[in-house]
Amino acid sequence: MSVQDRRARERQQRERLIVATARELAEAEGWDAVTTRRLAEAIEYSQPVLYSHFSGKDAIVRAVALEGFTQLAATLRDARHVARSPRPALLALARAYLEFAHTRPALYNAMFTLAELPFAQPDTPAPLHQAFAELRQALAPFAPPRNVDTLAEVVWSALHGLATLSRSHRLRPDHAEQRLALLVRTATTSERRSS
Amino acid sequence: MSVQDRRARERQQRERLIVATARELAEAEGWDAVTTRRLAEAIEYSQPVLYSHFSGKDAIVRAVALEGFTQLAATLRDARHVARSPRPALLALARAYLEFAHTRPALYNAMFTLAELPFAQPDTPAPLHQAFAELRQALAPFAPPRNVDTLAEVVWSALHGLATLSRSHRLRPDHAEQRLALLVRTATTSERRSS
DNA sequence: CCAAGAAATCTAGCAGTGCTAGATAATCTA
DNA sequence: TAGATTATCTAGCACTGCTAGATTTCTTGG
């Protein structure tokens, strides 16, 4: 059985190579540059090899997106943990979110517009749930327990909207900090836990 | 000179036909179905005719998007005017925005993810400015004059985020009303004009 | 160590895409 | 009505995602 083990290991490694290469190519030249031919050439295999790992190009994008959610979750966790009190923690998390979207636009795009990954559903992949959980945690001190999820969804929507709209040049570029401050202020003052 | 006038008129009419057909095809079967061939066939002309009106497919999508912003602005204005006091007006506007995005997903997609239309810039097309102005008006009673634009940008981001995330099944489907209520509540209570 | 079987990989091609050069048809002017 | 201008189409290019069938590589029993 050792032969099959080795083969499985090599397959897995090559699969990781495909996903990593797709991500790098997208981050370097945009998703338009990620064609099956270019991707195959970059990993030094022929096109059909891609289809022995993934059902199609969509599935590759989805894999990149999933990887992105793992990274985003880690980024948010780190940001949340540097601050000690709840409000600075939320501010740091929000800032980290927007910076993630801004510095890795291709990856963010895969996560939110290219790939179709169900979220609020039973079969939600773990990384997605985890990223949302970070936001939820950061907001818990500011909402009555029953409403934390709703607040998290709204704040997440706001962050996502800020990220995408500012990316498409639809928000004033020099007011990012004001928007962030306003968002955190409203999210933390309107729904006090004690209410 | 009457001949040229008639020709210009016919050209303009055909251009409108192209844009309308593109929109209808997209709303009926999604943007993937809007290929230059199918579009040409639908307007009963050959492909190159499209390129005598538009520089490429992108420009057609952009025209559809622009038309969409005109409609959105009108929808928001109507919603805002049915209510008499500021808060119900904002609630109605927000609801109308989300309903617009929900009932016309292809059009909304063209407006916000497919087409590249600069916004917060000197050469922003009028319909875009107008749609934003409606939101601005609805929020004016709830923010100090200096911050209206910032508040409008954040609320718009939240609405856009709610629209796109719920469309990709990343928000709990049965909590749309709670999210809307929470958004309006926070937007209207945190930044009182008198502050 | 070698031949047969199995597994992995590649070559070549399909149907579709956006877009365009050059030929053809329709229209207007004199 | 002939010539010039304008409008339109046919045919094709280079690209896309994807796949059937040939080919090579590896594994294993004798």
- Residue A60: both structure tokens together: 């590759």
Give the Cβ contact number of residue B51 at 10 Å: 14
Between the CA of A58 and the C1' of D17, what is the distance in angstroms? 10
* Chain C positions with a protein C-beta closer than 7 Å: 7-13, 16-22, 28-29
B window 22-61: Cβ near strand D (< 7 A):
45-49, 52
Q: What is the mean pLDDT of residues A96-125?
A: 90
Give me the long-range contacts of B185-189 (CB less than 8 A, separation at least 24). B185/A190, B185/A191, B186/A154, B186/A186, B186/A187, B186/A190, B186/A191, B187/A186, B187/B90, B187/B139, B187/B142, B187/B151, B187/B154, B187/B155, B187/B158, B188/B86, B188/B87, B188/B90, B188/B142, B189/A189, B189/A190
Residue among B108, B99, B103, B105 at smallest CA distance from B78 = B99
Strand D atom within 7 Å of A192 CB: no
Q: Compare CB distances from B165 to A157, A169, A175 and report the shortest one's residue.
A: A157
Instruction: Confirm or reject contact between B158 and chain A (CB < 8 A).
Output: yes
For residue B190, list chain A residues with Cβ-Cβ distance below 8 A: 185-186, 189-190
Mean pLDDT of B63-80: 98
In chain B, whose CA is at the least distance from the CA of A152? B179
Least confident of A78-82, B98-102, B117-121: B117-121
Q: Supply the pLDDT for residue B23.
A: 98
Contact B116, B134 (CB under 8 A): no
Instruction: Tell me: pLDDT of B195 over 90.
Output: no
Determine phi and psi for B118, rounding to 5 degrees: -65, 150
Mean pLDDT, chain A, rounded, equals: 93
Q: Which residue has the higher pLDDT, B153 or A191?
A: B153
Q: Which residue has the tokens 């520089």?
A: B55
Q: Which of A128, A186, A188, A195 to mutate to test the interface with B (most CBs of B within 10 A)?
A: A186
* Cα A150 to chain centroid, rounded: 20
d(CA A160, CA A143): 20
Lowest mean pLDDT among A73-87, B8-22, B32-46, B179-193: B179-193
Q: Which residues of B touch A187 (CB under 8 A)?
A: 186
| Cα dihedral B1, B7, B11, B17 sign | positive
3 state SS of A104: coil
Measured between beta carbons, which residues in chain A are less than 8 angstroms from residue B112?
164, 168
Q: Is B146 on the interface with A (CB under 8 A)?
A: no
Residue B34 has what pLDDT? 98
Q: What local confidence, expressed as pLDDT, does residue B179 receive?
A: 98
Q: Return the pLDDT at A193.
A: 43
Instruction: Give the nearest chain A residue to B160 (CA atoms).
Output: A161
Task: Output the distance from B145 CA to C20 C1' rounded to whole Å.
Answer: 53
Contacts of B49 (CB under 8 A, 6+ apart): B14, B40, B43
Residue pLDDT, tens place only, A48-74: 999 999 999 999 999 999 999 999 999
| The pLDDT of residue A5 is above 90 | no
Whether A40 contacts A47, CB under 8 Å: yes
**What is the pTM (predicted TM-score) of this model?**
0.94
pLDDT band at A138 (very low <50, low <70, confident <90, very high): very high
What pLDDT does A110 receive? 98
> For position B145, what pLDDT does the model report?
85
Nearest to A190 among B112, B116, B190 (CB): B190
Size of interface A-B (CB pairs under 8 A): 139
* CB neighbours of residue A126 within 10 Å: 12
Residue A191: the pLDDT is 56
Cβ neighbours, 10 Å, residue A183: 28
- In whole angstroms, how far apart are CA B114 and each of A1, A65, B68, B100, B111? 50, 19, 12, 17, 7
Contact A133/B at CB under 8 A: no
Nucleotide nearest to B46 (CA to C1'): D9
* Cα B108 off chain centre by: 6
Task: Find the range with the poorest average confidence among A22-26, B75-79, B143-147.
Answer: B143-147
B5 part of contact set with chain A, CB < 8 Å: no
Confidence of residue B194 (pLDDT cuts 50, 70, 90): very low
pLDDT at A167 over 70: yes
Say if the Cβ atoms of A158 and B161 lie within 8 Å.
yes
